[in-house]
Amino acid sequence: MYFSLSKFDPRIHPSIFLKDPLSSELGRKILRHSVELIEEVGFEDFNFRKLGRLIQSPEASIYRYFDNKHKLLLYLSSWYWGWIEYRLAFRNANIVDPIFRLENAIEILTNPSSEFDDTEYLNTNKLFKIIYSESSKAYLIKDVDALNKDGMYFNYKHLVASISNIIREIVPDYPYPHMLTTTVIEGIHHQIFFSLHLKSLTDKKEGEHSILIFYKNLILKQLNVI
């Protein structure tokens, strides 16, 4: 099985890290505080020296876990995709109607925070902020092909495949399940960011769940089930 259902323990592709950060106290400290720091100063101003100061450990120790800050970002986003897939499988267990399962997927993607399966080493609320504002920088880079060859985008691809499969259950011969899925996932992130920083690029009104409504409607109308 792709993940364990008891305590959430994400499968992260080993080529992303040098030493598994979940295998030690220092590693978990790196994860926890990198989320805090990236969220606070942004990915460009984040670096291992600052993180080292924050956790009172030498910069060089962090380099023993991750090649560079890009790999750390890749780790965090892979963790996130694994976590979303876990929550999705949990929520959709025993649900037969694929339309309902698809709607659940959009709900989780739009509002992924949850109290009950929060881990002690990662604040999922802050992680989500990093995801919608920084995660695309994990693949919008020159060496994307090399990283992809090494399997470093596995978790994102796996989630996209899972959602595409739900779409195929609804409309077996729909020709663009992956495009539809990534359009919605990336779209959700953009709309959240725009609603906070570039309001005239969106239509979200205060307190309204416009983003959820919009993408649910978009995807269901596209599949002719609405």
Partner DNA sequence: CATAAATAATAGTAATGCTATCATAAATGG
Partner DNA sequence: CCATTTATGATAGCATTACTATTATTTATG
Residue 81 binds which of its own copies, DNA, none (CB < 5-8 A, kind-dependent): none
Residue 25 has a CB neighbour count (10 Å cut-off) of 8
Q: CA end-to-end span of the chain, whole Å?
A: 34
* Contact residues for 8 (Cβ-Cβ < 8 A; gap 6+): 83, 86, 117, 119
**Do 79 and 93 meet the contact criterion of CB atoms below 8 Å apart?**
no
Binding test (CB under 8 A) with its own copies, winner from 14, 42, 58, 151? 42
Task: Lay out the site mask for its own copies across 85-124 (x = CB under 8 A, - = otherwise).
Answer: ----------------------------------------
Nearer to DNA, 43 or 86 (CB): 43
Among positions 25-64, residues that touch DNA (CB under 7 A) are 25-27, 45, 47-50, 56-61, 63-64
Contact residue for its own copies among 79, 177, 192, 216 (CB under 8 A): 177
CA distance 85 to 83: 5
Does residue 24 interact with DNA by CB under 7 A?
A: yes
CB of 145 to DNA, least distance (A): 19
Contact (CB, 8 A) for 57 and 29: yes
Look at residue 21 and give the partner it binds from its own copies, DNA, none, a contact being a CB closer than 5 to 8 Å depending on partner kind.
none
| Residue 190 touching its own copies (CB under 8 A) | yes
Helix axes 124-134, 25-41, angle to 10 degrees: 50
x/- string (CB under 8 A) for its own copies, residues 51-90?
Answer: ----------------------------------------
Shortest spacing between CB 26 and its own copies, in angstroms: 27
| List of residues 6+ apart from 59 with CB closer than 8 A | 48, 49, 51, 52
Choose among 90, 94, 130, 136: nearest CA to 114.
90
Query: Cα 76 vs. chain centroid, distance in angstroms?
Result: 8
203 counts as binding its own copies under rule CB under 8 A: yes
Contact 78, 143 (CB under 8 A): no
Asked if residue 20 binds its own copies (CB under 8 A), the reply is no
Residues near DNA (CB under 7 A): 19, 24-27, 45, 47-50, 56-61, 63-64, 67-69
